[in-house]
Structure 1
Amino acid sequence: MATATRRSATRTGRTTGRRRRWTAALGAVALLAGTAALAGPAHAMAAASAPVDFATHCVPPPIAGIPPIDGTTTAQITVDNAAPKVGDTVTVTYTVTKPAASNPVDLALPADIMTPTGKVALGGAQTGSVTVTGPKKNPPVPGKGSFPPFSMTGTFKVTAPGSITLAPGDYNIHTSYIMELDTPCTVITPPAPVSETVVATDVPGANERSIQLTTASGKPGDPVTVTGAKFAPLADITVAGRAGAAQTADRTTVKADAAGGFSAQLTVNDKATTGIVAYEGAAWSAEKGAGPAAYTVIDDTPAPPNSQKLNSSVKAGTLSMSQAGDTVALSAVDFGAGGASTGDLNTVTVKDFRGGPAGWSLTGKVTDFTGPGGKIDAGRLGWTPACTTKAGSPSTCVAGSAGVVGSAGATLASTPNGAVTGGEFTVGAKVTLNVPAYTAPGAYSGVLTLTLT
């Protein structure tokens, strides 16, 4: 924090989960912004993600002619938001760092022929499971060699406040080489140990509709059972496949029961389907729908003679932020006159490369300003936010309202949830510190914390 003779501060930081916070020392003459990841009150209650081991029963394809494998799987669950609100969609990543199974045949497997799918078990304040899928991507696997690590992702909607635990569940390794083969692996003593915990806060009136799938993958024409909860009682429900933001031809309808629940069989024929949604009415609405739940269509169509099938995948990234420079000079004010000490917040760049349905929110709060004359109240700091969206981004950035920042905090910028979100965004703000008229001369500084969730 700056003093009357020093206008710089030492950068400090620590990382908690996947949330990132940025700390700034703000003075009447200078503002210093440094990188620091600090846990908020709700997030501080959540246990940090950790790898866990659990006993697994894997069944090789019958063609391998070998008995089931009982071994140990090492895995870790991570989330993009460890402190969500009820109604938020949380992206879950299930990473198997050490599979219990291995290549069941003597034949070496080439690269990019493995498609993993699985489940993540929810417990605590919200129960159920999350379907997760991974891209068809792997290094070459020698004959009888160990399967390599892999990651799977999916989403779930938060429907209850409190601590929600996430534990690894059953997973399946599908290989597409010469023939289509599956190696399902089940947790011997479910549930597996908890790897991640999120702490959700209540939001009265939030959309609590949710869906679950019985399986995360299938061949074209296979049915999948979709169950839903907390829809409008006796409402007509559409269950449909999704490919990004577009709805596929896979579609069925069902009526919710008196409690708002339903169970439907959806036959998935469209090979482009990557997720499944359910909604009330004739068209998708985020306010009256749930999903998408991850689903992978295993294309088992043989390649024509004298041809080669080319497979590619798009790997999901992360939500991150960076800032330009460390120091912002605010204008000086005169003793006896006081008034507005102004400047521009260093530009913040937000990159959302998650490729899921969740938007983001960038908020800020500030402490009181201290100096030789005591303190200037945090409520005297205000800002006028601005935000621009890079061309081609699926989401559109919305600037927060102009007004007081204070110790309670305010929103700097955000993007809404949607079928497909993401992009690059540039965020800034005009900042004004209203200095009292007879504040003692010298430098005054506080700490401005920006939080991206």
Structure 2
Amino acid sequence: MGSPTRRRRWAALLGVAALAVAGGGTLATPASALATASQQVDFATHCIPPPIAGIPPIDGTTTAEITVDNAAPKVGDTVTVTYTVVTPAASNPVDLALPADIMTPTGKVTLTGAQTGDVTVAGPKKNPPVPGKGSFPSFSMTGTFTVTKAGAINLSPGDYNIHTSYIMELDTPCTVTNPPAPVSETVAATGGGETNLRAISLDAASGKPGDSVEVRGSKFTAGATVTLAGRAGATESADRATLTADAQGSFTGTLAVNDKATTGVVAYEGSAWSAEKGAGPAAYVVIDDTPLPENSQQLTTSVQAGTLSMSQAGDTVAMAPVDFGKGGFSRGSLNTVTVKDFRGGPAGWSLTGKVTDFKGPGGATIDAAKLGWTPVCTTKDGSPSTCVAGSPGSVGSAGATLASAPNGTVTGGEFTVDARVSLNVPAFTAPGAYSGVLTLTLS
């Protein structure tokens, strides 16, 4: 079950080479992937079987792993966290075999380091059959958090609960015996643009249809009217409540969740959701306990969100030479970059690039600002989003946008990005080979 053990946002480094004089050699800088590896960790766990099982608490070991979709976020970015319990400490507490797809896991991920707090995570109602008194299978849960501080943010597995819906509704809560558990993943956050510090937390990660969940918020605008809403994937449900933030921008309120398709809860200022004035979604699962008619079978399925990723067709671009004494534009084409947005949420994406100075013989350089590009972006048929090519112009060390896709009610798809590049070489630049590194970042 679950997601791949490593999900990573990475920065592609494209080597860009230029020949200054006929007869000179080419020099290319190889590509590199910047990513941080997550690791499986073991931690002592105290699990309490349902009272009906008539067995004492279980003190065992849980093996788990935390992965993220963005290992190098900027302040203000939203990071998707996946908590995979590889080996649960608990097992099926009853002699009765459990059928497939009756387990709903929920839990928390603990943040330490530059940013502290808990991330609520929840998983789909999905599992293979479990024999009586047999071990529970591996399962995965996902949630999100917004980066509020630059620095190293450590992620550790937290408490989790296994809910089973078969004949009766049963819970097996498991807590970390000596919190926090070992660090499984670390993200390196850097400074970003405007920061939205609004945050929400829930007092529960699941409930039955009609149950109310308590929502706590912080860092909202003092005195602002705040809407609490259920979220079914990328679409808001009809479940809503309004309240007013106090003088410190905090609030505590309840939201009755009736929509069985709910996957999370959001809070926002204004008449409609916006990433700039909202927080969440905090993961939430509605456990459907509706009795089935006699001689019937309930069929369930789910669509799991993926990641935002990029790949490139190569890592070296050989640009045309120019003549000493004449100079002019050394031209070439970037290797094609493919962007795949399989997150299934409302967020768009941005692909940016920045380049170093071009270094040549004897310490000679060509300024990074002299590299320009003309971007092109193509959207694959059937994609919910439409990509927009960046503006032609200088790239430079400060960087520029190569392509992007806007926020929307539903976003996603596949996109192909290219660009013509040209380096304006001064007339009497020292002969020899020059190279610079263009770094592409997808966020």
TM-score norm. by structure 2 comes to 0.89
Please state how far the C-alpha of 1:346 moved relative to its aligned partner: 1.6
Instruction: Compute the displacement of 1:416 (Å).
Output: 4.3
Q: Provide the C-alpha distance between the structure 2 equivalents of 1:322 and 1:344, rounded to a whole number of angstroms.
A: 16
Give the drift of 1:425: 1.2
1:157 Cα deviation (Å)? Answer: 1.8
Distance 2:61 2:207 in 1: 26
Q: Using the alignment, how far apart are the partners of 2:240 and 2:428 within structure 1?
A: 70
Residue 183 and residue 146 in structure 1: after superposition, are their counterparts in 2 closer, same or farther (change >3 A)?
A: same
Contact 2:15 2:317 in 1 (8 A): no
Is 1:159 aligned to 2:148, yes or no? yes
Size of the aligned set, in residue pairs, is: 431
Q: 1:425 aligns with which of 399, 415, 431?
A: 415
Q: Does 1:182 align with 2:178?
A: no
1:67 aligns with 2:79: no
Please give the alpha-carbon distance, in whole angstroms, between the structure 2 residues aligned to 1:35 and 1:28.
Answer: 17
Cα distance in 2, alignment partners of residues 220 and 96 from structure 1: 26
Within 2, Cα distance between the matches of 1:249 and 1:17? 33
Q: Please report how far the alpha carbon of residue 319 of structure 1 lies from its aligned counterpart in structure 2 after TM superposition.
A: 2.4
Conserved 8 A contact 1:90-1:358: no
Aligned to 2:32: 36
Q: Is the 8 A contact 1:252 1:266 kept in 2?
A: yes
Letter in 2 for 1:37: A
Deviates more, 1:67-76 or 1:196-205: 196-205
Q: Which runs of 5+ in 2 are unaligned?
A: 1-5, 20-25
Aligned to 2:340: 351
Q: SS of the counterpart of 1:406? A: coil
Distance 1:127 1:445 in 2: 42
Summarize the Cα distance change of 1:264–1:392 in structure 2 as closer, same or farther, 3 Å threshold.
farther
Name the SS of the counterpart of 2:369 in structure 1: helix
Equivalent in the alignment of 1:53: 42
**Residue in 1 aligned with 2:183?**
194
Read off the aligned partner of 2:90 and give its amino acid letter.
A
Rounded to whole Å, the distance in 2 between the matches of 1:25 and 1:124 is: 34
Provide, for residues 257-300 of structure 1, a one-character-per-residue CA deviation record: whole Å limited to 9, x for no partner. 11000001111111121111111233223222111111110111
Q: Output one character per residue of 1:124-146: Cα deviation in whole Å (capped at 9) or x when no partner.
A: 34333211111122222222111
In the alignment, is the contact (CA less than 8 A) between 1:159 and 1:210 conserved in 2?
no
CA deviation string 1:331-369 (max 9, x = no partner): 332332210111221211011213345443323233333
What percent identity do the matched residue pairs reach? Answer: 76
Cα offsets for 1:383-419 (capped at 9, x unmatched): 1222232233333323333222233433322334555
Cα deviations across residues 299-335 of structure 1 (Å, max 9, x unaligned)? 1112211211001011222322222345545333233
Deviations 1:68-105 (A, max 9, x none): 11111111212222332332211111111111011112
What's the secondary structure of 1:286's corresponding residue? Answer: coil
Q: For residues 163 and 13 of structure 2, what CA distance do their matches in structure 1 show?
A: 46
- CA 1:246–1:204: 2 relative to 1, 3 Å: closer
Select 2:405's aligned residue among 412, 415, 421: 415
Q: Quote the RMSD (CA, aligned, Å).
A: 2.5
Amino acid corresponding to residue 36 of structure 1 in structure 2: S
Q: CA 1:123–1:446 in 2, change beyond 3 Å: closer, same or farther?
A: closer
TM-score (norm 1): 0.87
Partner of residue 302, structure 1 = 291
Segment drifting more, 338-347 vs 351-360: 351-360
Q: Secondary structure at the match of 1:444?
A: strand
Of 252, 275, 281, the match for 1:286: 275
Structure 2 counterpart of 1:26: 16
Give the aligned partner of residue 451 of structure 1: 441
Tell me if the contact between 1:363 and 1:450 (Cα under 8 Å) persists in the aligned partners.
yes
Q: CA deviation at 1:171?
A: 0.7
Name whichever of 347-356 and 201-210 sits farther off. 201-210
Contact in 1 for aligned 2:202/2:214 (Cα 8 Å): yes
